[in-house]
Amino acid sequence: MRCVTVLLLLFASTPLWAHHPHPHTPPVRERCDPIPPLGNRLPPSYRRVYNRPTYLGGKIAYYIAPSSQEAMSWHEHVHRGSYRNKAGRIEPMYMYPKPWEVLTVGPRERTAP
């Protein structure tokens, strides 16, 4: 029984024997990069240039979820003729007061004397 215990302890302690570090470091080789990083040199997307979804993407979104923001934007630009006339970037302007300007925001009125 003692022999088995000693053998088990011997096998369990062998990973604890550390190896001396190699005195010479291996040479560092530059890695080959077959797919270069894309970075910031990509052309801007259609959505960013024209401020509207693509015609096909918007149409698909309109059939899947008509109440989505992309579908409503596509629907608005189709009726405006932006795709047919190849219109440039359109940024809508709203000429009404903002909600925080209209609402009377302030402290509550005192009800107790």
User: Cα–Cα distances in Å, from 77 out to 44, 56, 85?
Assistant: 20, 13, 11
User: Are the C-beta atoms of 97 and 69 separated by less than 8 Å?
Assistant: no
Q: Residue 14's pLDDT is what? A: 57
Round the average pLDDT of the chain to a whole number and report it: 83
Between residues 112 and 10, which one has the greater pLDDT? 112
Q: Residue 17's pLDDT is what? A: 63
- Does the pTM surpass 0.75? The reply is no
**Rounded CA gap, 78 and 54, in Å?**
11
Mean pLDDT of 98-102: 79
Q: What is the pLDDT of residues 17-71, one digit of tens each?
A: 667 777 777 788 888 777 777 777 778 889 989 999 999 999 999 999 999 999 9
User: Cα–Cα distances in Å, from 60 out to 21, 31, 53?
Assistant: 62, 43, 11
Tokens of 101: 């300007």
